[in-house]
């Protein structure tokens, strides 16, 4: 099982409870897929460098997750299907940063 770092930018029109619910759904998918969420860091609302879907800012959340390699494609698909997510960046974590 590999360790990945996920940066998620949620839409700014969501309140804190809705962001938490969306995070819980993502975390539930990870655990159902046989992985685990190692840490979650909510950076809060930040201004974007450029407009995405006519939004100028978003809620930034960084998560470190462990996920089986065969479940990564399905996890990325779930991220793309979520209406509350503006943008994601999914990276394999290096040994030095973990």
Indicate the pTM of the whole model: 0.87
Three-state DSSP at 66 gives: strand
pLDDT tens per residue, range 19-32: 999 999 999 999 99
Domains of the chain: 2-92 (3.30.70.60)
- Residue for token digits 């990325």? 76
**Comparing C-alpha atoms, which of 38, 31, 44 is closest to residue 75?**
31
Q: Name the pairing type of β-strands 55-67 and 36-52.
A: antiparallel
- On the question of pLDDT at 98 being above 60, the answer is no
Most distant CA pair in the chain, distance: 37
CA 22/CA 45 separation, integer angstroms: 15
The pLDDT value recorded for residue 1 is 87
The pLDDT value recorded for residue 46 is 95
CA 45/CA 30 separation, integer angstroms: 24
- Cβ atoms of residues 67 and 33 within 8 Å: yes
The pLDDT value recorded for residue 97 is 53
- On the question of pLDDT at 34 being above 60, the answer is yes
Mean pLDDT of the chain: 91
């Amino acid at each position: 099982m590999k360790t990945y770092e996920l940066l998620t930018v949620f839409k700014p029109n969501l309140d804190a409870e809705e962001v938490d619910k969306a995070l819980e759904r993502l975390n539930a998918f990870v655990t159902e897929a046989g992985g685990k969420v190692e840490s979650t860091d909510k950076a809060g609302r930040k201004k974007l460098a450029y407009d995405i879907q006519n939004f100028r800012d978003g809620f930034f959340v960084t998560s470190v997750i462990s996920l089986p390699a065969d479940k990564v494609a399905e996890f990325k698909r779930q991220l793309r299907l979520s209406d509350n997510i503006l943008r994601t960046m999914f990276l394999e974590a290096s040994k030095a940063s973990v």
